[in-house]
Structure 1
Amino acid sequence: MSELNKDEEAQSQWELESKRIQEIKNPTESNVEVPEPVVESTPEPELPEISINTSYEERPSVELNSAALLETASDAEVNSRISFEEFTDEKTLISHDALGNKQMKIKVLEVSDENPPMKWKFGDRVKVTKILITIKHLTTQEVEEGEFDVEAIERELQEKRHYTSTNRWIPAEDIKNGYVVGSKHTRLISDAAALDYIVF
């Protein structure tokens, strides 16, 4: 019996110790007094009165005119538009020098009335006589322009050197909006470059 009492006392002491540990870990409201926060009452700011007009009668009425929305451009403007086939990219009209420091565009000013030989073989071609060359220096953004009589330069080179490499016959489809496509530029300026009229 004495051993049972000892076990009961030990168990009760263990229970008391575990309760104390529980109270230390989780304090209850009865053990710990928490001070109530003090709230100061501040006066509410006075807001200005805003009058909202809910009547829509005063607003000007907007009438949607479907005819005005569906109006298209005049026939003259429509005819002046470029079709997709006629559109030419600016890059195709520009050629670059070997170092990439200059750009060149060639505009056709005058063509010959001469009929091209062997039209069946080479297609429609135009014999160019005068051109306007525009050179842009990419480093300085400087632009130079010069008019060249390609026919006169060709004759001069034949007299001085007895040979010319200029081919003034340009396919008609390689002239876009009055400018020669960049791939045909060397055909037109080779004699002028040989005589040092142009450095490109």
Structure 2
Amino acid sequence: MSRSATPPSRVSTDAPDTTDRPVRRDARRNREKLIAAAQAAFAASDGPVALEAIARQAGVGIGTLYRHFPTREDLVDAVYAAELDDVTTSVSALLDQFPADLALRAWMGRYSTFVATKRGMMETLRAGFASGRIAPPSRERVTATIATILARGAADGTLRADVDPDDVTTMLIGVFLTIAAGGPQEQTGRLLDLLIDALRPRTGTPGQQE
């Protein structure tokens, strides 16, 4: 009897292996539930939130939380990035409504409010802002948003054309560190106004040397 042309051990390899798909779907759902639970917990608390409480609220074990987010900083990064979408996508509507300098000021105000509401994760955010560790992709998104507004402002003459967008991001982070340290909200507004003034084109004044 001749051997089969196709060894039995290889016959099944032609069919797609779908055994791990439910696992991936479950892992994705668990991650989404953890982020949603963390968002609610961080917003409701005035101080640090126990990770065990977040896992319990999400309906998973603490081991599942740590598999997705090995550290508290990883979880804060994920929540920060998820909620940043609403802030960064609002810029188009603002540019349609206002000149670029006013759109930038309105956007900065919205961003500062976004940061100020992160009460339960403020200590982690503050440490991350200070070290530069918090979500580099999120910082890049913020910088890209600022670059869009600066380009519009350079075109319509309301903002300087010689500004590095990342410098503006760095100055914004300085303002947010003031928020995180408990600075008064009215000071935040004044700092943002000063920042916008610094970004407007320089104009000559009487007695000023050109």
Q: TM-score, normalised by structure 2?
A: 0.26
More helix by share: 2
Q: TM-score, normalised by structure 1?
A: 0.26
Which of structures 1 and 2 has the larger relative contact order (alpha carbons within 8 angstroms, sep 6+)? Answer: 2
More strand by share: 1
